[in-house]
Amino acid sequence: MITIKSQREIELMKASGAIVAQVLDLIEQEIQEGMSTLQLDRIAETYIRDHGGVPSFLNYSPKGDPDVPPYPATLCVSINEEVVHGVPSDGRIIREGDIVSVDCGVFKGGYHGDAARTYMIGEVDKKVRELVRVTKKCLEKGIAQAIAGNRLHDISAAVEEHARSHGFSVIENMVGHGIGAELHEEPPVPNYGKRKTGVKLREGMALAIEPMIAMGRSRNAVARNGAWVAVTEDGMPSAHFEHTIIVRKDRAEIMTVP
């Protein structure tokens, strides 16, 4: 079932989303070569708790999968060929030329906000810079389709078409999602699909739209040695941007803004 959020619920989601955006702004200021991904995680967790929130991802267990251990951190920090779910650690150092995707979720007042950005560290290869720019634009193109009366896959198709027009691949086995009182709600929001298909979008639906776009040919993100992190099949870099939005009549309303 896809829930429709009331104005009151939307206000609460905006409050959670604002903290998410503030964390990502803070990371943008702080991130630099030589830092560990765990340092970023500490900055984020402290900021979230100081603002009355709880990290959404910490201790998260995918439903119905007792084999996967609960997620152990506040952020997902995924570098280069890592698509998503990179677990912050002391030993993982950020280097010049890396692209670093940081995904953050905050739970406050009963509702979640969820967003991600990919940061470039120092001098980044030209083609990789294009990947990051195009992925960000894919998110904007997807959000532009999130209006009442459109179909869900109008979002998906807009993302896919933009990625492909630049020769990049869409990661298909990881998708966006509905969001609200739960981090993951109905419906799944794929980053590929056919226009004019999927459920009809209605005002008040809350979606986390999150294109994951790869430079090579990889269409799936695969687990590396049984851990949380998922990497491209060919080792090529991948970028990730995400916003939590509310479907509106004329233009989607973005929850994850400071």
**DSSP state letters, 185-236:** EEEEE-S---TT-SSBP-TT-EEEE--EEESSS---EEESTTSS-EEETT--
Backbone φ and ψ of 133, nearest 5°: -60, -45
Which helix (H) or strand (E) element contains residue 47?
helix 37-50
154 binds Co ion (CB under 5 A): no
- Burial class from Cβ neighbours inside 10 Å (0-12, 13-18, 19+) for residue 224 reads middle
**Nearest distance, CB of residue 221 and ligand MF3, angstroms:** 11
129, containing H or E segment: helix 126-144
Nearer to Co ion, 88 or 121 (CB): 88
Q: Is 212 in the site for Co ion (CB under 5 A)?
A: no
* Positions that interact with ligand MF3 (CB under 6 A): 57, 60, 71, 76, 85, 103, 114, 177, 208, 210, 242
User: Shortest CA distance to 103 belongs to which of 84, 81, 82?
Assistant: 84
Residue 253 as a binder of Co ion (CB under 5 A): the answer is no
76 binds, among Co ion, ligand MF3, none (CB under 5 to 8 A by kind): ligand MF3
Applying CB under 5 A, does 185 fall inside the site for Co ion? no
213 forms part of the interface with Co ion (CB under 5 A): no
Q: Which is nearer to ligand MF3, 148 or 257 (CB)?
A: 257
Contacts to Co ion from residues 107-136, by CB under 5 A: 114
CB 253 within 8 A of CB 206: no
For residue 57, the partner it binds in ligand MF3, Co ion, none, with Cβ less than 5 to 8 A by kind, is ligand MF3
What is the nearest approach in angstroms of Co ion to the Cβ of residue 196?
Answer: 25
Q: How far is the CB of 149 from ligand MF3 (least distance, A)?
A: 26
Pairing between β-strand 82-84 and β-strand 99-108 as defined by DSSP bridges = unpaired
| 45, interface contact from ligand MF3, Co ion, none, CB < 5-8 Å by kind | none
- 231 is a contact residue toward Co ion (CB under 5 A): no
Taking the least distance from each CB to Co ion, the nearer of 101 and 150 is 101
CA–CA dist 49, 35 (Å, integer):
22
CA–CA distances in Å: residue 26 to residues 21, 44, 46, 72, 212: 9, 8, 11, 21, 22
Helix (H) or strand (E) holding 9: helix 7-30
Residue 45, interface with Co ion (CB under 5 A)? no
Could you tell me if 243 and 146 are in contact, meaning their C-beta atoms sit under 8 angstroms apart? no
CB nearer to Co ion: pick between 27 and 208: 208
Cβ at position 103, least distance to Co ion in Å: 7
> 84 vs 157, which CB is nearer to Co ion?
84
The site for Co ion (CB under 5 A) is made up of: 114, 208
